Structure 1
């Protein structure tokens, strides 16, 4: 399956000399995507989890350069892929040194199943040397096989009902989506969760209470989209609130879950609350309503990440709630200004929520949608609408990424 991100990374190397940092969850397709960017005879792949590759990396950049014969004249510059190198404690120094010495002789792609942007908090030694890209699971728009657009919103395009339902039920990770077989799905999800909560946690953190961490992951799975109570989670797992916060940050950094925070600007009687958490694999939500909401949340997060990574602006995803307990599921901002709002409903027959008009007036929002999961596709650009409207999910999601 050809991913949208292949063309995005290809355009990156055609236009820029900086490294590309490509991150995303385990099994989302980073290795397949990166290896398909250039021809195999001009692409060199080094995986930290491979013993021989690890030895070469530990010997230093000159060993890597000699191994690929970097001084040889070629028709195109070689692409060097460093996969999972974030597990090396000195990876930033290694990458910085290699880039500074050889960036005119090659193109460099760094991939990983943990967030590579976390080092920004302590100062970014790679500043000016990279652009950051976040690889997400499959989405409605990506299944439509459209070329990447230079604009954020695209024209609507119909997706087959079976493809839409399969994406909702099997999730957006390529293997289970393509296989669509229950026994394979059960084994795949169990193994992925074991690798993430056991192997990755052990390698990238000092957390010892793995059983309690697994319990926390299960609790987050069953309350996806709900307001978070750290104290309740702490009581159920028998650790402190501070520990819960640290563990959730770790789970976020390993792409198990993601957070959405409340928008508080320009909201009368805004309620400063903790974030909501959603799963990267929405198929793990057993409740139908929670899965629908997580499905839309994942599509919106993919969109704001993709648009931002592509340089179209600064996009963020929030939810809305005030002290009168009026709430809307999602708000997307563009360059720090509210842009469009989304409320998720299971049925097209549900009445339009009056809360949408309230928040639209307060925030001066341009577009307001109540997205119905079971609605039939309508061939109309919904981003031409300027009042709260019930729209089918198939139409809405086809206009994102």
Structure 2
């Protein structure tokens, strides 16, 4: 993921990938041997944006094998599509990490005066969670509105001045999405590509009907599929599949589309919310998704019946299922479809979660929690 802070973590080297010793693995190995005397030492080599290195997987494999594992690479890239090309030849030789944008809790650590190191197991810590919300509610809601407006790109998050936030966010979209992605994947019709992003931003947290999108934008179905795979592979969007017990049905049904950062939505469709009450429901749902996806051990689905009743998210962890619904209405009741899901899958569902604007309650097996707490939950 670009602009997520990889360079800050890596302190990446000044050398560019087109320097002479990158021409072949042997030359690079000889260069490292000459400069760093590798005989009995381990060397850690950092390469940023590795997708630009031709035949990167073979290059890294040859050097790894020549050095008998003494050279350790820390390699970054902004596209999972091209990093996929690196993975296969390096089986057994690599550990992978995905560096996400700031989650809401990470943003709070950068923006708030309070420490936010808390995590609460549901349902065990529900009383402690309620006390926590009562203490920090105003601060949480204030910063949540800012996070919804600006998203989680670190450079944008840590900047205090609004004009600079706009500038940084605009530069990220211009350089990464409209320039780097378009050029790297040789997208011929950049205008249509940008129109697709704008359309997806306006339809965030909605079911993606590819045929309708293809007709609306006037692009071929295969081109649309190609563009969607690029946007998902470069961490701009995530497509969430419906939950079914039969995998074949899951793969053939339409996914829901989520934008992986609300700052991108702001840049493409414009928005500026002053308080939590004015935030649109589908943006809140999109926010909830971005926080849930931080849990690496959880698979996320949505649930939809034949009659089109829907549960926003189904979290799957091993054999356990957790239905999650987002509701911002004043009068809160547990949706019938959620009750039915819990009943149907009762052997695998211990509880459900309904995320509200500010309500804290419990109805049978469903915990009603304020949405500002979405990133503080640890699912037991």
Are the aligned partners of 2:358 and 2:369 in contact in 1 as well (CA < 8 Å)? no
For structure 1, the 5+ residue unaligned runs are 1-24, 36-44, 308-314
1:230–1:70 CA distance, 2 compared to 1 (3 A): farther
1:168–1:232 CA distance, 2 compared to 1 (3 A): same
Greater mean alpha carbon deviation, residues 133-142 or residues 86-95:
133-142
Counterpart-to-counterpart distance in 2, 1:375 and 1:317: 24
Q: Residues 64-122 of structure 1, C-alpha deviation per residue, up to 9 Å, x if partnerless?
A: 52475152767xx44321110112231111111122233642432111111167637x9
Tell me whether 1:371 sits opposite 2:335 in the alignment: no
For structure 2, the 5+ residue unaligned runs are 110-114, 266-270, 272-278
Q: How does 1:185-334 map to 2 (within 5 A)?
A: 185-265=165-245, 273-285=253-265, 286=271, 288-303=280-295, 305=296, 307=297, 315-334=298-317
Quote the RMSD (CA, aligned, Å): 3.4
Pick the structure with more helix per residue. Answer: 2
* Residue number in structure 2 paired with 1:125: 89
Could you state the TM-score of these two structures normalised by the residue count of structure 1?
0.75
Tell me whether 1:398 sits opposite 2:376 in the alignment: yes
Counterpart-to-counterpart distance in 1, 2:262 and 2:100: 12
Tell me whether 1:34 sits opposite 2:17 in the alignment: no
Q: Residues 11-30 of structure 1, C-alpha deviation per residue, up to 9 Å, x if partnerless?
A: xxxxxxxxxxxxxx221112
1:54–1:190 CA distance, 2 compared to 1 (3 A): farther
Counterpart-to-counterpart distance in 2, 1:203 and 1:154: 50
Are the aligned partners of 2:241 and 2:250 in contact in 1 as well (CA < 8 Å)? no
Counterpart-to-counterpart distance in 1, 2:152 and 2:337: 31
1:146–1:399 CA distance, 2 compared to 1 (3 A): same
Are the aligned partners of 1:348 and 1:390 in contact in 2 as well (CA < 8 Å)? no
1:348–1:31 CA distance, 2 compared to 1 (3 A): farther
* Residue number in structure 1 paired with 2:112: none
Greater Rg over alpha carbons, structure: 2
Which of 328, 334, 356 in structure 2 is aligned with 1:352? 334
Counterpart-to-counterpart distance in 1, 2:122 and 2:225: 33
Counterpart-to-counterpart distance in 1, 2:220 and 2:67: 47
Counterpart-to-counterpart distance in 2, 1:353 and 1:186: 39
Counterpart-to-counterpart distance in 1, 2:226 and 2:254: 14
Deviation at 1:245, TM superposition (A): 0.9
1:200–1:270 CA distance, 2 compared to 1 (3 A): closer
Number of residue pairs matched?
345
Counterpart-to-counterpart distance in 1, 2:61 and 2:236: 28
Which of 140, 148, 151 in structure 1 is aligned with 2:104? 140
Q: Residues 275-295 of structure 1, C-alpha deviation per residue, up to 9 Å, x if partnerless?
A: 111111123444622221111
Counterpart-to-counterpart distance in 2, 1:81 and 1:148: 33
Counterpart-to-counterpart distance in 1, 2:232 and 2:291: 17
Tell me whether 1:166 sits opposite 2:142 in the alignment: no
1:135–1:390 CA distance, 2 compared to 1 (3 A): same
